[in-house]
Amino acid sequence: MDVLKKTLQRNQTGHAWLFSGPRGCGKTTAARLLAKALNCTGLVDGYEPCGKCAQCISISSGDSLDVVEIDGASNNGVEEIRELKTHVSLSPFSARWKVYIIDEVHMLSISAFNALLKTLEEPPPYVVFILATTEPQKVPATIRSRCRHLPFHRIEVPAVCSRLSRVASEEKIPFDPDALREIARHADGALRDALSLLEQAASLGGGEVSKDAVDRLLGGGTLSEMEKWVSSLKEEDVQPFLFLDRMFRKGASPQRVVEGVFLLFRNLWAVKRWGKPVLEALALSESEEAFLEAESGAWTQDQLSDMMQYCSKLIPQVRAGLRTDVLSGLLAARALECRATPAAKASPPVARPPFNPMEPASETAAARPLVAPPRPVAPQTSPPVEPPRPATPQTGSPVAPPQPASRPDRAKEPREVRVPAAFDSPVPDEIWREVERRLFEGHISLYCLLVGATIAVDEKCIEIRIPDDGAYSYATLCSERKTHELAAVIDDVVGGGRELVLAWRGECSARAPQAMETKPEPEEASSPAPVVPPARDEAPPQSRGQGKGIPFEGIVDEVLRWTDGEVVLVRREEREDEPPLAGEQE
């Protein structure tokens, strides 16, 4: 509201405003106050309406002819906006400014927005538009760019409690502070909803706002009930299941219950992780702080995190209409199972600082090179070249189909799976950081695939362990091309002659180093095959996998080898300059 105060004090009122925010946070009320401040004849401090002049009284009662409120949800057509444009050109009747307040403006149609756009571009000097919406992203950018956007925020629980206590005190209504806090929490930042619940609770409690009246009003699912349910999980009996069942039978909202359980486990997780500093930031009551401090010691961080994730998965199902009896069974079973699961006693991983691409190389790495000497390459001897044999022409005999040149079979061999080796000492930090640096500089895709991976080296093997959530990284790294590139970088740093193993969730891919250094070449045919003209008819389409055994030469063979692909369709087409076969008509 400071923006509005300074704007009014400097007399720099804009011709169009856009108020956005969640429901019940005061957008329409602020629009009416702005209309009062613009037309008030006795402003206090230059921005606050007096509330006593004729303009303030008429605007408060809704009798002012110069302040028009329009519901965008019910008047969303282009005809209504065109009618509004005919009245905009008229001068104010008695006030200084003519103010149009359009609530739920995002409900207007595209044609209505286009009709309103021209008026916002060239408005009369005495007209102010105030647009209010809960979904500003649905307002066209052309409209938003011509308005002063003022975003409203959800009201915090302490502020709502303070306002409720003030209203109850002025109305002389006895109240319980815990009941007011529960109303404020249930209102979810909407002061309008909180005031409505306060009035209903007072009527239900016989003129008094008590916790029992609020519990009956909300139908259960209050924070105190959630705390009792969490505490009952310690006991090995049927109470956690029956507690939820009774709560839903009283009329508790399933979505409110799941969201309340999530928030409660979130607070327990935060207190378990950071302790008392979190309690001050959460702005809780003394009883809530005492419960969190006492209950957080009975849970582990993993258990609390698991419950939060499970509740987050239940929320969409509840919104879709999940039955309450099914929900109570699922929630109770998962909570009891999680509560009974002991904490995993895994050895802490070796702390290693993350790789920073902008950080210069360490002095140790710069002092001595980590590049291993080049591995010896065995001399290759080429077989003697035989002179081509003269082809003997054959007459009167059918032409034999061409025989494909023999080549190694491209069928994928079964992968060897073995148990990951247990290394006593991991690779030195400086070596692994050097590997990361080289991958970042020359192979950025490999660097991204190895984020979070760990490496261990011994005399015979290099094992890279992929994290549990790295299924895509593991599948990509297992391709022949990626494995070859990764092995080349690692061998340059730690030395060659070792086997590279990729491990993920107990599954390993073992590849021998000699298989990654050389690529098999297709064997040359002993004698050239006779040349025959291609067939005219088109080969029938083959299903996926039928072209696996068809040999290809040249670039097609290289592409299939490096991408681990397969032939799906083979099509033979005749050339235009080729003579027709015998027996066919031209």
Interval 63-88: pLDDT, tens: 889 999 999 888 888 888 888 888 88
pLDDT grade, residue 201 (50/70/90)?
very high
Select from 314, 298, 328 the least CA-distant residue to 221: 328
pLDDT in tens, 487-514: 888 888 877 677 888 888 766 655 544 4
pLDDT grade, residue 552 (50/70/90)?
low
pTM tops 0.75, yes or no: no
Q: What is the mean pLDDT of residues 398-420?
A: 42
Query: Residue 548: pLDDT above 60?
Result: no
Select from 144, 160, 167, 225 the least CA-distant residue to 26: 160
pLDDT grade, residue 478 (50/70/90)?
confident
pLDDT in tens, 445-469: 888 888 888 877 777 788 888 888 7
In Å, how far are 242, 356, 369, 517 from 439, measured between CA atoms? 57, 13, 17, 19
Beta bridge partners of 187: none
Portion of the chain with pLDDT greater than 90, in percent: 27
pLDDT grade, residue 521 (50/70/90)?
very low
Residue 51: per-residue pLDDT = 86
Minimum mean pLDDT range among 65-69, 150-154, 432-436, 540-544 = 540-544
Select from 254, 249, 404 the least CA-distant residue to 323: 254
CA distance 155 to 134: 15
Q: Which CATH class is domain 157-218?
A: mainly alpha
Residue 550: per-residue pLDDT = 53
Residue 575: per-residue pLDDT = 55
Displacement of CA 201 from its chain's centroid (Å): 39
Q: Where are the domains of the chain?
A: 2-151, 157-218, 237-340, 429-517, 542-571
Q: What is the mean pLDDT of residues 82-102?
A: 89
Sheet of strand 461-465, all strands in order from the earlier edge strand to the far edge: 454-457, 461-465, 499-504, 507-511
In Å, how far are 95, 165, 427, 539 from 573, measured between CA atoms? 85, 87, 57, 9
Q: E strand or H helix at 288, and its extent? A: helix 286-296
573 or 218: which leads in pLDDT: 218
Residue 385: per-residue pLDDT = 46
Select from 149, 152, 153 the least CA-distant residue to 18: 149
Q: What is the mean pLDDT of residues 52-72?
A: 90
Q: What CATH number was assigned to the domain covering residues 2-151?
A: 3.40.50.300
Q: What is the mean pLDDT of the chain?
A: 76
Q: What is the mean pLDDT of residues 91-118?
A: 91
